[in-house]
Structure 1
Amino acid sequence: MKILDKYLLKTFLTTFTTVFVILFFIFILQTVWLFISELAGKDLDLVMVIKFLAFAMPRIVPLVLPLSILLASIMTFGNLAENYEFAAMKSSGISLQRAMRMLTIFIILLSIMAFFFANNVIPYAEYKFINFRKNIAQVKPALAIAEGQFNDVGFYNIKVNKKSGKEGNELTGITIHKKSKIGDGSKTVIKAKNGSLISSEESSILQLVLNDGYYYEDIVPKNYEDRSKMPFAKSSFKKQIINIDLSELNKTDVNDASVTNTNTMLTINELSYTLDSLNKNIKTEVKNFTENPTARINYPAPKVFPKTKVKKELPTDILSLYTNQQKSDILKIASSNITNTSYSIETIRSEILNKQKNINKHLIAFYDKFVIVFACFLMFFIGAPLGAIIRKGGLGLPIVFAVLIFITYHFINTFGKRLAQEDGMTPFLGAWLSSIILTPFAILLTYRATNDIGLINMDVILLPFQKLFKKLFPTTQN
């Protein structure tokens, strides 16, 4: 390794490390903000908070790494150009491609590491992150209930005035609203002076023991006019035990997250196996639906047909062969068959569409493992030539360019993935859309930087206007 390569590599690594740490810290703060409701007011100790953040950190790397490479490249090559170090290199016969050679090798190694990180570390961290959130209430059930506010716990909204005890399991001033299973609000209210939470790591059932309380329930009579006669029922109790299924507790947000993030917990081999199973499943379902149309149609019984002699030609109006009552029965059966068939088609269409969306999400997760590799190259070959062109280092103009480029990249990437998930475009195109759009920009910047052409050739833009101005206002010669 020559002295120049060592110098460029050292300069780039120093800038890259600094930028990566700063950006990583910013994105960690964003993660804390997103999950503040799960962290604040729940008596989490420091170890659990650190675990929570540690499991959430790897998912940030695919965002931070390309942006760090882009900003570090602009700053490094911008400083070299600003301090006329590039001019000295070029006067010595060293081209931009030669200056970028060692850094390109470093980016290749970094991209390989990013691929293995995305394929192994991130899926494992996602699995641990989701399960940590899922089991947090089971390991320490008191964390599921914060003081002074209603907490959504399965089919119950629970509010306590105060928690005490070593694990916060002793509760005082308990108010419980039981949700209606048919979704028409809360018709049952339970109030108790005190109580306690009992749970076990081996069981998914959380027991809430209530002491000295009252039970109120609105009774809905069959006839609306009788509502004034039976407004509610009231009873008191010395001790009552409520069993809460923690799987219902986790269903509120954790299972939803696991449904949308299951694909992020899989490696390439696991994604390939899962995609094969999902494709076979959807093909089998479509085949079964299309090959068995008679199962959805109820043909009229043979006895409804009149006993007539077979003629050589059937009449044009087949219904004329039947009596009015038989015609009415046949039309009702036909109408019912049409309605049932339409409903079956709409139902299977909705199911197949949801399954296709799930396949699209897995395909996008599969392509994302490779997109991050190309993103490292793309951002380097945008940042390095751009820094050489603008000839400005530091944290001013480079940050503006880096943020604008990365926001464009991230917006196109998000738009493409969302559109591909909804089957608006192929998952391959959705995952690679941002890379496909910005690749010509990287090639253009590299070409212009190599040939010492500015970012924008103003002469090409202004020359037509100058000619037009001279024609309209010719100069007079004395």
Structure 2
Amino acid sequence: MILYRYILRNHFIPFLFSLITLICIFLLQFLMKFADRLVGKGLDAWIITKLIVFNLSWMVVLVVPMATLVATLMAFGNMSQNNEVTIMKSSGVSLYRLMFAPIAASVVLSFLLYLFNNEVLPDANHQAKILMSDISRTKPTLSLEPGFFSQEVPNYAILARKIDQNTNILYDLTIYDYSNAMKINVVTAKKGKIFFSANQTKLIMALEDGEIHESDVENTTMYRKLRFEKHKIAMNADLFTFQQSGPTSRGERELSVEDMKYITDSLYQIQASNIKYLESEVNKYILLKDKFPFKPAPVQQQSKSVEKMKNLDRVRTAMNVVISAYRRVEWTQREIEKYEVEIYKKYAIPAACFVFILIGAPLGIMVRKGGFGVAASISLFFFLLYWAFLIGGEKLSERGIISPFMGMWSANILLFTAGLLLTIQTNLETKTISFEFLKKFIPKSFEQKAEGNENQDS
């Protein structure tokens, strides 16, 4: 037990460090990608925080397996570098026993990640989609430039000839009001101020010392002029304020395994009826040529050309019915595969935690380096390989080229086989991976400078 606790303790700090580092990298990439959709919208800090928290869920699901591999490489690399692995093996402790505690911890971690992936991630994805959709519909905050008409507010054209940037007071205002199609209203004022109402639903224009000129479109002889000392115009501000939508329909990435299985069961029943209908149509129109379901037009009543045209139209109708039934079967099959891909993904990504232990432990012993840089460099290759198989398998599965199971589990199967072979080989004979060959790619001028600096130091 002391040995197991020691090995797990060597994993814990590197795991936390790599987990936080990778989440920060993903978070930075997310903010850079969506910054243009967030900046200038006048969003509350709480809305931005909610958006980040909701998107952290999918980042955690992707990062935990990566952090497991990095931590394993660092832990076993450190122990190998300090000759602890050699001492343990000479004491009769096999590599399998050294890996027992990390493997047991990875099984627990995989189960917890599956629960998170199945229970938390779907709701977080759904809320993030709604929030991002609402943010995308929100226009940037109203901006006015002196001497230019602004038509950002629907049904209004606003001209301010002078704007005090310190007090935000507008001078020499002209406002065209098109909210009533039957009337033309022109409002002028010497000064005014624009602000949102308390509930953020209205844009209030508080005007001072001005006039309202009103005319009727139908009765052109009617004209009215009103003078005012103070006047307020309430304009619709829905496009400039954030308003969150209610519940919407969920996609496959916003559902749990149980929900998706219920949907796929329903789709299988629909598919069975679709296939039965297609087979009946094929048998009716193609196989039973002697008993075609319509009678040819009699030659005595019309010319042969008209008879051929009508019969040709009937054949085309029959062909369209068969093609339509086939496409319905094909579309339903794509929907089934789409949901099955997500179901298998819920299990495949958490299982990667266990697979990466089998890869990381023997490689860490071979490399004999416990630094984060070396571990991250080696891990990057396996990350790219894993996600290439995962993304490629997802696309191929959704197109019906390979089965959803193979599409999602091919990366795990490949890396599990490679990890098993590496573990067996390392247990039988300890090998060391050297990076001396990289020196061939370093320019000689750099080596000479480094030697010169060493000589000066000495």
Give yes or no for TM over 0.5: yes
Q: Do the aligned partners of 1:413 and 1:431 also contact (CA within 8 Å) in 2? A: yes
2:267: which partner in 1?
A: 278
1:219: which partner in 2?
A: none
Quick one: distance in 2 between partners of 1:279 and 1:161? 62
CA deviation after TM superposition for structure 1 residue 450, in Å: 0.8
Aligned residue type for 1:128: Q
Q: Do the aligned partners of 2:72 and 2:364 also contact (CA within 8 Å) in 1? A: yes
2:404: which partner in 1?
A: 427
The alpha-carbon distance between structure 1 residues 285 and 100, as it changes in their structure 2 partners (threshold 3 A), is same
CA deviation after TM superposition for structure 1 residue 340, in Å: 2.8
The alpha-carbon distance between structure 1 residues 148 and 339, as it changes in their structure 2 partners (threshold 3 A), is farther
Quick one: distance in 2 between partners of 1:447 and 1:430? 27
Q: Do the aligned partners of 2:77 and 2:369 also contact (CA within 8 Å) in 1? A: yes
Q: Do the aligned partners of 1:78 and 1:393 also contact (CA within 8 Å) in 2? A: yes
Residue 57 of structure 1: SS of its match in structure 2? helix
Quick one: distance in 1 between partners of 2:421 and 2:430? 10
> Which of 299, 305, 315 in structure 2 is aligned with 1:328?
305
The alpha-carbon distance between structure 1 residues 105 and 439, as it changes in their structure 2 partners (threshold 3 A), is closer
Deviation sequence 1:118-156 (CA, Å, 0-9, x none):
11011121122223234457xxx7x2456579xxxxxx9
Aligned residue type for 1:91: S
2:320: which partner in 1?
A: 343
CA deviation after TM superposition for structure 1 residue 375, in Å: 0.8
Quick one: distance in 1 between partners of 2:279 and 2:203? 51
Quick one: distance in 2 between partners of 1:443 and 1:160? 72
Deviation sequence 1:324-381 (CA, Å, 0-9, x none):
9442222112221233333344444444333322211110111112112321110111
Quick one: distance in 2 between partners of 1:117 and 1:373? 10
Q: Percent identity?
A: 25
Mapping of residues 62-211 of structure 1, within 5 Å: 62-136=61-135, 143-145=138-140
CA deviation after TM superposition for structure 1 residue 409, in Å: 0.8
Q: Which runs of 5+ in 1 are unaligned?
A: 150-155, 163-171, 177-191, 213-238, 306-321, 458-478
Q: Do the aligned partners of 2:271 and 2:329 also contact (CA within 8 Å) in 1? A: yes
1:464: which partner in 2?
A: none
> Which of 397, 406, 427 in structure 1 is aligned with 2:383?
406
1:469: which partner in 2?
A: none
The alpha-carbon distance between structure 1 residues 43 and 193, as it changes in their structure 2 partners (threshold 3 A), is farther
CA deviation after TM superposition for structure 1 residue 250, in Å: 11
Residue 372 of structure 2: SS of its match in structure 1? coil
Quick one: distance in 2 between partners of 1:119 and 1:340? 47
Q: Do the aligned partners of 1:41 and 1:147 also contact (CA within 8 Å) in 2? A: no
- CA-based RMSD of the aligned residues comes to 4.4
2:257: which partner in 1?
A: 268
Q: Do the aligned partners of 1:55 and 1:128 also contact (CA within 8 Å) in 2? A: yes
2:371: which partner in 1?
A: 394
Q: Do the aligned partners of 1:148 and 1:160 also contact (CA within 8 Å) in 2? A: no
CA deviation after TM superposition for structure 1 residue 38, in Å: 2.8
Mapping of residues 22-101 of structure 1, within 5 Å: 22-101=21-100
> Which of 428, 445, 448 in structure 1 is aligned with 2:422?
445
Structure 2 residue 279 is the aligned partner of structure 1 residue 287: no
CA deviation after TM superposition for structure 1 residue 438, in Å: 1.8
Structure 2 residue 282 is the aligned partner of structure 1 residue 299: no
Q: Do the aligned partners of 1:147 and 1:159 also contact (CA within 8 Å) in 2? A: no
Quick one: distance in 1 between partners of 2:64 and 2:429? 29
Q: Do the aligned partners of 2:118 and 2:256 also contact (CA within 8 Å) in 1? A: yes
Deviation sequence 1:372-394 (CA, Å, 0-9, x none):
23211101110111101111110
Deviation sequence 1:282-311 (CA, Å, 0-9, x none):
32233334435779998357xx43xxxxxx
Aligned residue type for 1:386: L
Q: Do the aligned partners of 2:196 and 2:204 also contact (CA within 8 Å) in 1? A: yes
Q: Do the aligned partners of 1:145 and 1:159 also contact (CA within 8 Å) in 2? A: no
1:8: which partner in 2?
A: 7
Residue 424 of structure 1: SS of its match in structure 2? coil
CA deviation after TM superposition for structure 1 residue 112, in Å: 1.1
Deviation sequence 1:196-247 (CA, Å, 0-9, x none):
999x99xxxx9999999xxxxxxxxxxxxxxxxxxxxxxxxxx9x99999xx
Residue 396 of structure 1: SS of its match in structure 2? helix
Quick one: distance in 1 between partners of 2:157 and 2:337? 41
Quick one: distance in 2 between partners of 1:127 and 1:325? 63
The alpha-carbon distance between structure 1 residues 351 and 242, as it changes in their structure 2 partners (threshold 3 A), is farther
CA deviation after TM superposition for structure 1 residue 46, in Å: 1.0
Residue 251 of structure 2: SS of its match in structure 1? helix
The alpha-carbon distance between structure 1 residues 96 and 160, as it changes in their structure 2 partners (threshold 3 A), is farther
Residue 337 of structure 1: SS of its match in structure 2? helix
Aligned residue type for 1:75: M
The alpha-carbon distance between structure 1 residues 135 and 93, as it changes in their structure 2 partners (threshold 3 A), is same
1:153: which partner in 2?
A: none
Aligned residue type for 1:408: L
Residue 128 of structure 1: SS of its match in structure 2? helix
Quick one: distance in 2 between partners of 1:84 and 1:161? 78
Aligned residue type for 2:316: T
Q: Do the aligned partners of 1:9 and 1:103 also contact (CA within 8 Å) in 2? A: yes
Quick one: distance in 1 between partners of 2:157 and 2:428? 69
Residue 454 of structure 1: SS of its match in structure 2? coil
Deviation sequence 1:18-50 (CA, Å, 0-9, x none):
000100111112222333343222111210001
Aligned residue type for 1:451: L
Q: Which runs of 5+ in 2 are unaligned?
A: 145-153, 161-173, 179-185, 189-193, 206-211, 214-232, 287-291, 435-458
Mapping of residues 232-247 of structure 1, within 5 Å: none
